[in-house]
Structure 1
Amino acid sequence: MFLTEYEDMGTQDGRAWLLNSPEQNLPMILADNGFDVWIVNARGTTYSRKHISLDPSKPAYWNWCWDDMVTYDLPAIFNYVSKQTGQKINYVGHSLGTLIALASFTEGKLVNQLKSAALLGPVAYLSHMKTVLGVLAAKAFIGEIMINTGMPEFDPKGLPVIELIKFLCLAPGVDCGDVFTAITGDNCCVNASTVNRFMMHEPQPTSTKNMVHLSQTARSGVLAKFDNGGISPPIYNLSNIPHNLPLFISYGGEDALSDVDDVKNLLDHLKLHDADKLSVQFIKDYAHADYVMGMNAKDKVYNDVTAFFNRQF
């Protein structure tokens, strides 16, 4: 199996899964239960910035969005892991890691190599997200402005993005006293020391074009490919996901990114899914970061994920 972790206001690398102790983080729990665990680093992050011909200092390196993760990255990862292990894969995704998986499944990609998928804090629609900074950025076409002014890399810790956040924080009703909570929601179960470790390394860079694509998703209310202008881009039809694909979906009532109404929209598109192949979990007090860093995530989520995987044959 492998785990992917992406965040909607930048990208996280694989370290985000390992911030808690071995007894409390999902990769080690799965490994202790006999699973062979592979952790993915998204392109553009610290451990995934090499390229056979392009350099991260050049704009061409950043000319991609999550469509490219669907078309190239996930298939390459699946092919590599399948070749190394000779086994079908149990997939775990969080945040954008769920989005690229769902989009892939709609097009029939990966499903022949897949045993099951667990989607935590799932993102397919962003119309109701409550992270005020994200909503403001999307409505103000901030990503498009950054591209037009020659900033192809979106680095959350870089000066241009820091200045951008400061500017957005001046808007009425925006409280930036706790940016982490402002973006992810009111996490019930993440302690301060874990957040401090997170902020030492995360979030990581992504492409500005990727942020534009996410903004398009938030503005349009549909799950579609990148809109270059002109003809409307093709839709990722979630109803096309194979009805017999085992899915575990867990979402939280306090999640500012994976909003309850947006998840209900996703589940509505899965209403024809085989009932015995779809497991849905709702945790009323969970927000976005609880799924990766919650101190009680083992008891709330990870034990159920492990049991779900063990039921797949």
Structure 2
Amino acid sequence: MVLLGLMKFSVLSLCFLVLTTFPFQVSSHGSFGKKPNGAYPSLADGICATSVIVHGYKCQELQVTTKDGYILSLQRIPEGRGEGSNGGTRKQPVILQHGVLVGTLIALASFSERKLVNQLKSAALLSPIAYLSHMNTALGVIAAKSFIGEITTLLGLAEFNPKSLPVEAFLKPLCADPGVDCFDLLTELTGKNCCLNSSTIDRFLMNEPQSTSTKNMVHLAQIVRHGVLAKFNYIRPDFNIMHYGEIFPPIYNLSNIPHDLPLFISYGGKDALSDVRDVQNLLDRLKFHDVDKRSIQFVKDYAHADYIMGFNAKDIVYNSVISFFNGQVNN
């Protein structure tokens, strides 16, 4: 995730979670600028060095510890390329977030409970994940049916690392299903992407796929199976009562998202994860949003990964995102 505190910028990475103040514990592990010895950055130098600083932007590596103990790696871009320090001017941040594992559901859930809203200028959600009833990727559907609540104990891991041996062992029988083609996992998971090239995919795979919590994967599976956008179900009534004061987990009411929060939403016609019908369900919850605060973009040929790796994503998507953000500056 990359953090930005400006309104004019170029989009460089998978997901931009933009905050200037944190309700969490934050520590800095990197500095602005280039490597002192002039050597080309390696993966060990972090996402800032390999994907941001090399393009002339300042960038800072951060770690955020959440209230429930998860440690997240974040990257912050404090200003535009060649913009200077702006005389110390503080700008309201924007959020640009994509897809499943860098959960858009995180933003939508927070907004529905009026969290973060007062800290933000606007938000852009690409391939938004909220409802998952129509997800049509065979591997995703089979995995969702397999991700029962007991899987946390089964794997014995709090962290779901796609590159780890336990996860490989979990995926092996799923890949044996005749309807699943694990030789092309990207297409199998995201849909038939129109606009990728091999060099971009190689670059992407330097940093991805990233880990997420096993609990997060179980939660997504619950949403797929039940067709309801609710908080995590601990299965045991006493656990749900302990966390929520109710036997069943509360449902997120996306209609509660402030109607004057500027939102840009873009979704693709070929996306196997963020299916058009599920996005329409989301948009129906936002039908009372202020007209001048909402911008909806539909890209007919795009699938899930095109938004982050498409060779034409800048022209098709990100120019529109930047125009939207800039249009909200003085509003």
TM-score computed with the length of structure 2 as normaliser: 0.71
Contact 1:143 1:208 in 2 (8 A): no
User: What are the Cα deviations for residues 37-77 of structure 1, in whole angstroms up to 9, with x where unaligned?
Assistant: 878x8xxxxx74x869xxxxxxx966x9xxxx9xxx99xx9
200, 203, 218: which one pairs with 1:197?
A: 203
253, 271, 296: which one pairs with 2:287?
A: 271
1:182 and 2:198 matched = no
Structure 1 stretch 154-163 or stretch 264-273: which is displaced more? Answer: 154-163
Distance 1:301 1:38, change over 3 A: farther
State the distance in 1 between where 2:51 and 2:300 align. 24
**What is the SS of the residue equivalent to 2:15?**
strand
State the distance in 2 between where 1:199 and 1:142 align. 29
Deviation at 1:311, TM superposition (A): 0.5
- The aligned residue for residue 157 of structure 1 is 163
State the distance in 1 between where 2:89 and 2:221 align. 37
State the distance in 2 between where 1:305 and 1:149 align. 40
Distance 1:195 1:149, change over 3 A: closer
Task: Please show how residues 112-191 of structure 1 align to structure 2 within 5 Å.
Answer: 112-141=118-147, 144-191=150-197
State the distance in 2 between where 1:107 and 1:283 align. 29
- The aligned residue for residue 239 of structure 1 is 255
1:311 and 2:311 matched = no
Runs of 5+ consecutive residues of structure 2 not aligned to the other structure: 5-12, 17-45, 77-87, 238-246
State the distance in 1 between where 2:47 and 2:127 align. 16
1:5 maps to a residue whose letter is: C
271, 276, 279: which one pairs with 1:260?
A: 276
- The aligned residue for residue 25 of structure 2 is none
**What is the SS of the residue equivalent to 2:122?**
strand
Deviation at 1:112, TM superposition (A): 1.0
Deviation at 1:246, TM superposition (A): 0.9
1:93 and 2:103 matched = no
Runs of 5+ consecutive residues of structure 1 not aligned to the other structure: 7-12, 23-27, 32-36, 42-46, 53-59, 78-83
Higher helix share: 1
Distance 1:109 1:136, change over 3 A: same
User: What are the Cα deviations for residues 192-212 of structure 1, in whole angstroms up to 9, with x where unaligned?
Assistant: 121122223311111111111
Deviation at 1:152, TM superposition (A): 2.3
Contact 1:4 1:92 in 2 (8 A): no
1:180 maps to a residue whose letter is: L
Contact 1:246 1:277 in 2 (8 A): yes
**Alignment RMSD, CA only?**
3.2
User: What are the Cα deviations for residues 194-241 of structure 1, in whole angstroms up to 9, with x where unaligned?
Assistant: 112222331111111111111111112121111112211011100000
Distance 1:168 1:85, change over 3 A: farther
State the distance in 2 between where 1:136 and 1:210 align. 17
- Determine what percentage of the aligned residue pairs are the same residue: 60
State the distance in 2 between where 1:306 and 1:141 align. 38
Deviation at 1:86, TM superposition (A): 3.0
State the distance in 2 between where 1:200 and 1:51 align. 24
Distance 1:270 1:103, change over 3 A: same
User: What are the Cα deviations for residues 263-302 of structure 1, in whole angstroms up to 9, with x where unaligned?
Assistant: 0000000011111111100001101111111110011001
2:316 maps to a residue whose letter is: K
Contact 1:126 1:258 in 2 (8 A): yes
Greater C-alpha Rg: 2
Contact 1:147 1:209 in 2 (8 A): no
Contact 1:128 1:261 in 2 (8 A): yes
- The aligned residue for residue 249 of structure 1 is 265
2:166 maps to a residue whose letter is: P
Q: How many residue pairs were aligned?
A: 264
Distance 1:38 1:274, change over 3 A: farther
3, 12, 15: which one pairs with 1:5?
A: 15
**What is the SS of the residue equivalent to 2:167?**
helix
State the distance in 2 between where 1:272 and 1:188 align. 33
